[in-house]
A = this chain, B = another copy of it.
Amino acid sequence: MVKANKVAALPPRRATLKEVAKLAGVSTSAVSRTFTPGASVAPETRMKVLAATRSVGYQPNALARSLMTRRTELIGLVANNFDNPVFMEIFDLFTRRLQTRGRRPLLANLSGGASTEAALEMLLQYSVDGVIVASSTLPQQFVKACADAHLPVVHVFGRPTGGRAPIHVVSPDNVQGGRLAGEELWKRGYRNIAFLGGPQTATSTEDRLIGLGDSLSKHRLKPRVVVYGHAYSHEAGLILMRQLLRNGGIDAVFCGDDNLAMGAMDACREAGVDVPNEMGIIGFNDMAIAAWPAYHLTTIHQPTADIISAAVELVLSIVEKPVKKPMVHLFDCRAVIRGTLRAA
């Protein structure tokens, strides 16, 4: 006749607010208010509630709470570049920053042709408070779609749109960075300069090339060759650089990313081409590996940590109070001189 053994050691179902209230001999409101910063609860009541809470191991259900508060404290983090080691640092910074601000990152991986519609649906169904899209190779329209769905969204590593869509952007100033690269190359006497970019559709690649063109044109020069890779990858850099070496006619390469640059360096190594004397190479991003002795790559540094904090603060602020006018934060880059460009 016994229905079940209710003698289990620990409660298999988690304690609820109501149970805590009964145990503490107070109303559910009192319990709720105990966990609501700024709510009015008598110290004595609070004590009783906390004691009951501890004794049953109560944890408020954030999801149920979100139903009333209309805030989940969830921030969607969307990316599609899980093959680029730079993004490790970026994830680290994002997740930690969000955590210290009391938010949780809900990840959407858009690599390998995952559906953007599905990702957007997911973000909506889980009622994220805001979205951070961290990519320069993702179609603008995904970010646009988030905005259209009334999701506060900031595009990190994106490009400011010419006011057409109200999209907030936080990004390194890729054009300025490209200019910097051009200057360094010019200063050191390189005159036949190639641009080795990532995907042609990536706005970052496009802007870095524009910057390079800018600075070269001041000296009545233009990039000799422009080639694009399928990705910001070592492999692409290797293959494209082999091709550039075969065709000849250049004495330096500005690579749109460090992975590309390191691939290019390896192509030079295998062809017996001396870097930096026969061939100057400059990268972009200043990822950790670029500093390793095997490469010691001269590159354009972007202030990643600043970019990330700015992005997080921005998204949290527009969650708080929406703003119509698209905000744009562009961060200056600086050149980090190592060994792949000859002395000035």
Residues on A lying within 8 angstroms of B by beta carbon are: 10, 12, 14, 57, 59-64, 66-67, 72, 74, 77, 82-85, 87-89, 91-92, 95-96, 99, 104-109, 111-112, 114, 118, 121-122, 124-127, 148-150, 234, 262-263, 265-266, 269-270, 288-289, 292-295
Contacts and interface: CB of A to CB of B under 8 A. Distances in A.
A88 B85 contact: yes
Contact of A234 (B74, B111, B127, B292): B292
17 contacts: A59-B124, A59-B125, A63-B67, A82-B92, A83-B88, A83-B89, A83-B92, A84-B88, A85-B85, A92-B111, A96-B109, A96-B111, A104-B106, A104-B107, A106-B106, A262-B294, A265-B294
A122 B62 CA distance: 9
Contacts of A87: 88
B63 A127 contact: yes
Nearest to A112: B96
B107 A105 contact: yes
A125 B83 CA distance: 32
Each complex incorporates copies of this chain amounting to 2
Contacts of A109: 91-92, 95-96, 99
B83 A104 contact: no
Contacts of A112: 96
A39 to B, nearest CB: 18
